[in-house]
Amino acid sequence: MDSDLTFIGLFLQASFVVQLIMLLLLGVSVASWTFIFQRTKALSAAEKEMRQFEDKFWSGADLNKLYQELSARSGISGMSSIFCSGFKEFVRLRKGNTAVEGIVDGTYRAMRVSMSRQVEELENRLPFLATAGSISPYIGLFGTVWGIMNAFIALGKVQQATLAMVAPGIAEALIATAIGLFAAIPAVVAYNRFSYKVEKIENSYGNFMEEFSAILHRQASSAQAQ
């Protein structure tokens, strides 16, 4: 009986529905951990890119040279992409003799579109983690209810119930809830942590857009005043 109370033994003894639920939850857990590692790497890269760009931008580098340097790279992202989108639109509108306010508004809209794309990329897979964290316990609970229901149905067919007869059925049912919690807890923790990081990065992008717009506004005003 002891060997039957191991995880593998209880899994093999469980009904098909409970086994299916356990496998589903294990799959969700594996997918969650995969996305957790992916998002950790992506957000760390975004934060590193942002620090490097800000150091170069605020060091007093010439904006034209900085734009040319970044444009020559392939696959720029993050704050560099926002800067390139805004500066490209700024140059285009200024060559068209657009009014200062029109230049600034057009530049800001271009940067806003670029920022939305960058944030959308950072938020990739977060909805899955949120969903996994919210529904995994309920899926596990469904497996537990199903398993306990089957255990009591089986007990109703015997004359005398003993603890040895009850324990395996209850244990195999409770394992479904345990696996559900095992899948949900890391997903919820990771989702909250990643959401905070994405919000922090988005705020940094927004602050840069405001500061960069002010710089471009001064340049456009001084150019038209000449």
> In the chain, where are the structural domains located?
10-225
- Give the pLDDT band of residue 221 (cuts 50, 70, 90): confident
Report the alpha-carbon distance of residue 202 to residue 122 in Å, rounded.
Answer: 9
- Give the pLDDT band of residue 164 (cuts 50, 70, 90): low
pLDDT tens digits, 63-110: 999 999 998 888 889 999 999 999 999 998 888 777 888 888 999 999
84 — alpha (psi -120 to 50), left (phi > 0) or beta?
alpha
Report the alpha-carbon distance of residue 55 to residue 80 in Å, rounded.
Answer: 12
Report the alpha-carbon distance of residue 21 to residue 33 in Å, rounded.
Answer: 18
Report the alpha-carbon distance of residue 99 to residue 134 in Å, rounded.
Answer: 51
pLDDT of residue 13 exceeding 80: no
Report the alpha-carbon distance of residue 209 to residue 49 in Å, rounded.
Answer: 16
pTM: 0.84
Question: What percentage of the chain exceeds 70 in pLDDT?
Answer: 89
What's the mean pLDDT in 135-144?
92
**Burial state string for 153-174 with b = 16 or more CB within 10 A and e = fewer than 16:** eeeeeeeeeeeeeeebbebbbb
- Give the pLDDT band of residue 146 (cuts 50, 70, 90): confident
